[in-house]
A and B are shown apart, each in its own frame.
Chain A
Amino acid sequence: MDFHYSAEDERFRQDARGWITANLPPGWGRDVHEPEDEHARYMGRLAWEKKLYHGGWAGLAWPREYGGQGATLVQQAILAEELARAGAPEGLNIIGRNLTAPTLMHHGTEAQRRRFLPKILSCEEVWCQGFSEPNAGSDLAALRTTAIRDGDHFVVNGQKTWTSFAQYAQWCFMLVRTDPAAPRHKGISFLLVDMRTPGITVRPLRQISGESEFNETFLDNVRVPAENLVGALNGGWAIAMTTLTYERGPEDALARQIRFSRDLDRLLDVARTQRRHGAPAIDDPVLRQKLAGAVIEVEIMRLNCLRSFSRLLQGKPLGPEASFQKLYWSHMAQRLYETALETLGATAPLAAGDPATPAGGLFQTGFLQSRAFTIYSGTSEIQRNIIAERVLGMPK
């Protein structure tokens, strides 16, 4: 066990820090923030992601042949820390990078990897995830969207829902039913669908945060080339499990930790300027306990990720342990934003847009967004089932 960084890693950190400072707008995080308008915000994130790519900071730990930098997971963690320190924006192509890419590295053909992976890194192609349907959420294997073979194409019909970023995505990986007669898990295939294909309609849905990140996606006789099938026909379930493992795993978590640690930092500032009982909020012993709890939990989230990385570096698979990361951070983040609102105290009811709200409404939005954390990527109840049954060996 050793948390010292090698000289090479320290150099990497300095380089990353220097590059980030030089490339974020001056005053970032203090006077300059992400735009309030949602579309502008996402376009800003995409632009930032492309900048990172052109700077050579994307796909650090990916193999070089797919556009990666051949760096280490440790360096990836260092970059995440430095991005957090600078309060840098998140990206828009998170699904492509964290889900599509590892899934294709495990299950894709060489041709599919060469076709798709470099454009994920360069963000020329943004991805979305077409798993959930109106009647298939936690019970994902109940999905009904069909794909029927027609010559060298599949013809897809059905509806996906809660499809995040579908309105910005060029591609979608989708679970479809290819054998309705087979047992539920054995008739599902994993398809890569070009979102520009005729027959696809995307309708944004408004979320409780007021934003419209997710969508309904309707599929009406959508023709998908057969070469876009990943893995074996009717072998999609096992591939989906790989995708979900990454969705719940440490790389995804570490990228999110950036945001929580940035928001926590901001919160500590706000706690000094907010007043309660005629004194700075930071002097309130009850609030101090909660803020300290938040500091501890956000730091443990980072360390949990590093601990998983060490497992991965030793070649041990993550498997169901990934659910432990997701369950930890989702509830942690919900507590963090509750504490943030408590810190705002009497001003908590002021929201983004009101000039008097501290931190520009960041924490109110974060609070609302955090309600989704325990729902997407598998609800907490599903994560607990997985941990209990597959890690602890408890009965179904």
Chain B
Amino acid sequence: MNFDFSAEQIMVQDSVRSYLADAWSMARLRRLIEDDGDGFDAALWDGLAALGLPAILVPEALGGLGLGFVDLALVLEECGRALVPGPLVETMIATDAIVRFGTEAQRLALLPGIAAGRLRVVPAIVESGDAPLATPLAGGWSLSGHRMLVPWAAQADKLLVAVRFAADAAAGLVIVDPQQAGVSLRAETLFDPTARAFDVSFDRVVFGAAEVLGGGPSAAAVERIGDAGAVAAAAQMCGIAARMLDLAVAYACQRVQFGRPIGAFQAIKHRCADMLVQLESGRTAAYFATWALASAAPEAVRAVSMAKAYCGDASRFICNETIQIHGGVGFAWELDLHLYLRRAKTLEYSYGDATAHRERLLGAVLAGREAA
């Protein structure tokens, strides 16, 4: 029993933080807002790949670092804190699914490239009306339907598409090349202008068992990728919230009104204290969830939903109050606050919002009591 990160894990966090402090900036991020190209920052991707981030979850035999989700926790927090744009985190989420569910051939085909920073794989799992349906063909299936909010689909080499299999009413993840015939992408207009996402349509895309992650339908794989995404979102929200609280405290100490720094007013300082309580409690939940995922603990479902629900609410509170504490300038486009707010809000509604996760958690708790 130990709730601490190891010295190595903290060292990795420090190296990511100092790399981002040197090589990355909000000014660079802002370029993505005006960018009408693909928005992909190749230099940042290469730099983070050189630090080994996409290799973290890949087994050593396949060129990776052979680490687990706990090793990712602080890295994800830093990615949130610096608003690192995709598809790095999305690729990590997909990597987790490939490591756990991929066939030997799939692992060999994908993981070394991911570890080396050559391959980008993103999940395409957001529920929308016309979910992709696979109907059987001779020697495989034909896939039609669409997925919305597929992050960075145009920059991805592969999509992991959550699919329903018509015949046996099962679910599974299918590896699809976004450039392949029958796949079309429409760039979506997003609340977070530093993100990219696509509505991806599938029109009779033919695939075989070799493209189904694990070789056949697997509801567990679909659930797992959602859980990994939820925990990654929770950890990133902690990073963003921590950054927002830093900004709120710094501003409150420096802004003078009525002859005093506004941070001397209890209405402000007490709010900051409440923000800290929620931030730290959110971290507690998020860290625990990374462990539960890494060790496939029986309480994983509860831990994941607890983290996503609590961190979502905490991030909402902290981001909103940080803007309030800044007054008028908090509403100015030129300040970066809204960029944190927009990313955090997007994460809040990604991989299941707080309401959905509370419902899921209660269902699991009640089922557990029934069984006991």
Contacts and interface: CB of A to CB of B under 8 A. Distances in A.
B273 A300 contact: no
A387 B249 CA distance: 12
Interface stretch (B109-117, B204-212, B330-338, B355-363): B355-363
Nearest to B73: A1
B289 to A, nearest CB: 10
A238 B359 CA distance: 47
Given A3-B1, A306-B3, A385 B284 contact: no
Most chain A beta carbons < 10 A, residue from B263, B291, B292, B362:
B362
B281 A295 contact: no
Contacts of B17: none
Contacts of B306: 295-296, 299-300
A307 B273 contact: no
Contacts of A285: 359
A280 B116 CA distance: 55
Contact of B281 (A306, A328, A383): A328
Contacts of B284: 300, 303-304, 307
Interface stretch (A15-23, A155-163, A286-294, A356-364): A286-294
B4 interface: yes
A325 to B, nearest CB: 9
Nearest to B357: A292
A292 B308 CA distance: 13
A246 B312 CA distance: 31
B127 interface: no
Contacts of A328: 277, 281
Interface string B342-355: 00000000000001
Contacts of A288: 358-359, 362
B253 interface: yes
Contact of B266 (A296, A304, A384): A384
B66 interface: no
Given A292-B362, A304-B280, A384-B274, A393 B266 contact: no
A292 B301 CA distance: 13
Contact of B252 (A303, A313, A394, A396): A394
Judged by DSSP, the binding face of B is helix
Contacts of A2: 1-2, 291, 295
A59 B18 CA distance: 45
A387 B277 contact: yes
Contacts of B362: 288, 291-292, 295
Contact of B287 (A1, A4, A282, A395): A1
A310 B6 CA distance: 12
B355 A289 contact: yes
A2 B69 CA distance: 12
A396 B264 contact: yes
B269 A388 contact: yes
A309 interface: yes
Interface in A154-198: none
B1 A74 contact: yes
B28 interface: no
A268 interface: yes
B2 A300 contact: no
B1 A295 contact: no
Contacts of B309: 292-293, 296
Nearest to B264: A395
B276 interface: yes
Contact of B1 (A4, A384, A394): A4
A24 to B, nearest CB: 18
A306 B1 contact: yes
B264 A394 contact: yes
Interface centre among B260, B295, B365 (most CB of A within 10 A): B365
Contacts of A74: 1
Nearest to A78: B1
Interface in B258-314: 260-261, 263-264, 266, 268-270, 272-274, 276-277, 280-281, 284-285, 287-288, 290-292, 295, 297, 302, 306, 309-310
17 contacts: A1-B70, A1-B287, A2-B2, A3-B288, A3-B292, A3-B297, A268-B365, A288-B358, A292-B359, A306-B1, A324-B277, A327-B273, A327-B277, A384-B266, A388-B273, A394-B264, A394-B268
Interface of A: 1-6, 9, 74, 77, 268, 282, 285, 288-289, 291-293, 295-297, 299-300, 303-304, 306-307, 309-311, 313-314, 324, 327-328, 381, 383-385, 387-389, 391-396
The 10 A-B pairs at the shortest CB distance, nearest first, are namely A292-B358, A388-B269, A384-B273, A387-B273, A310-B3, A292-B362, A384-B270, A394-B263, A395-B264, A74-B1
